[in-house]
């Protein structure tokens, strides 16, 4: 260890067994603030207002009727109580790549958006993009990371 893991917001109501589902707006904004895109095998600390736990990110494959999504394997017994904080994530959204405030793009186009960053041109939804190998038929532009 010794490496500082990124701390990413998660909704612990979305913990099913040992799987923490990572599909919320708060998680997206948190990734953008850390300048990260999800990738399989990443180790992260997930936190909510008064809980935190370490986990390993993976992509849950979708089906014909259900889109895939990012989630993390965690050890439920390892979930720690942390001092509750009133600190809320800011509502503003920085571009995950260049940090430009892109809040207005989301206000205009909603969540999720297919827009690219007006400053750097990277797709704004890239932090939640599925891994390339899982969707060979999807033509959405992928970020150069
Ligand atoms: Zn940008």
Average pLDDT of the chain to the nearest whole number: 88
Number of structural domains in the chain:
1
User: Comparing C-alpha atoms, which of 48, 63, 51, 53 is closest to residue 5?
Assistant: 53
Is the predicted pLDDT of residue 95 greater than 80, yes or no?
A: yes
The CA 69 to ligand 1 mean position distance, Å, reads: 23
Residue 73 lies in a domain: yes
Residue span of the structural domain in which 101 resides: 7-134
Residue 80 backbone dihedrals phi, psi, to 5 degrees: -105, 145
The CA 46 to ligand 1 mean position distance, Å, reads: 25
User: Comparing C-alpha atoms, which of 19, 89, 5, 92 is closest to residue 49?
Assistant: 89
Q: Which residues surround ligand 1, an ion (CB under 5 A)?
A: 95, 97-98, 100, 117, 119-120
Residue 61 lies in a domain: yes
Is the predicted pLDDT of residue 136 greater than 60, yes or no?
A: no
Q: Structure pTM?
A: 0.86
The CA 102 to ligand 1 mean position distance, Å, reads: 8
Residue 139 lies in a domain: no
**Would you say 74 and 57 are in contact if contact means Cβ atoms under 8 Å apart?**
no
Residue 51 lies in a domain: yes
């Amino acid at each position: 260890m010794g490496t500082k893991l990124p701390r990413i917001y998660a909704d612990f109501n979305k913990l099913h067994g040992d799987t923490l589902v990572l599909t919320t707006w708060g998680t997206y904004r948190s990734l953008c603030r850390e300048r990260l895109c999800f990738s399989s095998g990443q180790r992260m600390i997930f936190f909510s207002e008064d809980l935190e736990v370490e986990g390993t990110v993976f992509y849950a494959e979708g089906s014909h009727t259900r889109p895939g999504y990012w989630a993390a394997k965690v050890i439920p017994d390892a979930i720690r109580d942390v001092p509750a904080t009133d600190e809320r994530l800011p509502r503003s959204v920085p571009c995950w790549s260049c940090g430009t405030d892109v809040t207005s793009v989301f206000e205009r186009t909603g969540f999720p958006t297919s827009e690219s960053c007006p400053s750097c041109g990277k797709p704004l939804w890239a932090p939640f993009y599925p891994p390339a190998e899982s969707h060979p038929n999807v033509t959405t532009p992928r970020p150069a990371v």
